[in-house]
Amino acid sequence: MLMPPILSDMANDSGPPELVLFDLGGVLCRFEPDRRAAELAAAIGVTEDEIHALVFASGFDQECDLGIHSETAILERFRRLGFPGDRDELRRAWAKAFIPDRAVIDLAIALRSEGVVVATLSDNGPVLLAAIESVVTPSAIDEHVFSCMLGATKPDPAAFLAALEFLDARPQQTFFVDDNPVNVLSARRLGILAEQANKAADVGSALRSVGLLQTH
């Protein structure tokens, strides 16, 4: 269920937001983790269930999201599991889970054309970070901010605060779009303008509600 918008609380006397933060999997991209699991399973010669158990249910992926493991360490672990590929092949396999939503990416490009800074705020690790320009065209994003850079994941307030510090941004001048209502609520509690959306039409409406995309 979508969270009700609190547009009256989003009003900004100093003008529209200067920074827009987009979630990656669920907003800028469709997130289909089974595609990644299938790719890794085929490469290693195990089942998708085994990949899930070894990488995701084990907590290893969460550790990667927190920046505990470098990309080199992750590749070494996969090689021990039997992955035969190199760094680029692991990146390609990891990126399979993310299918760009062209309509939302076009909104991001339009925002940048209006002088708005656009960034991602994503719970992901160094492998996807290294592959991100193969997923989202560089013309859509000024900065990619991943949890592995911050040492915290959403909805932890520390993730939002570290992202704002990294981007030299203020909460009141930031608009955050995420498909997860828990993340949206956490951002709002910090004074960040935030809305839940996962379809291009809803994302566009949310952006316009705070004074953005007025010429598009």
pLDDT value at 10 more than 90: no
At residue 118, φ and ψ (nearest 5 deg) are -120, 130
Distance (Å, rounded) from C-alpha 9 to C-alpha 30?
Answer: 29
Predicted confidence at residue 206, as pLDDT, reads 98
Kindly state the tokens that stand for 83.
């992955």
Distance (Å, rounded) from C-alpha 156 to C-alpha 163?
Answer: 11
Give residue limits of the domains in the chain. 7-31+100-209, 33-95
Amino acid at 132: I
Kindly state the tokens that stand for 97.
């889970």
pLDDT value at 186 more than 60: yes
CA dihedral 101, 114, 22, 25 (to 10 degrees): 10
pLDDT value at 215 more than 90: no
**pLDDT one-digit tens code per residue, 205-214:** 999 999 999 8
Distance (Å, rounded) from C-alpha 90 to C-alpha 92?
Answer: 5
Distance (Å, rounded) from C-alpha 164 to C-alpha 47?
Answer: 40
For the segment 6-32, the average pLDDT, to the nearest whole number, is 80
Residue 8 — pLDDT band, cuts 50, 70, 90? Answer: very low
Superfamily for 7-31+100-209? HAD superfamily/HAD-like (3.40.50.1000)
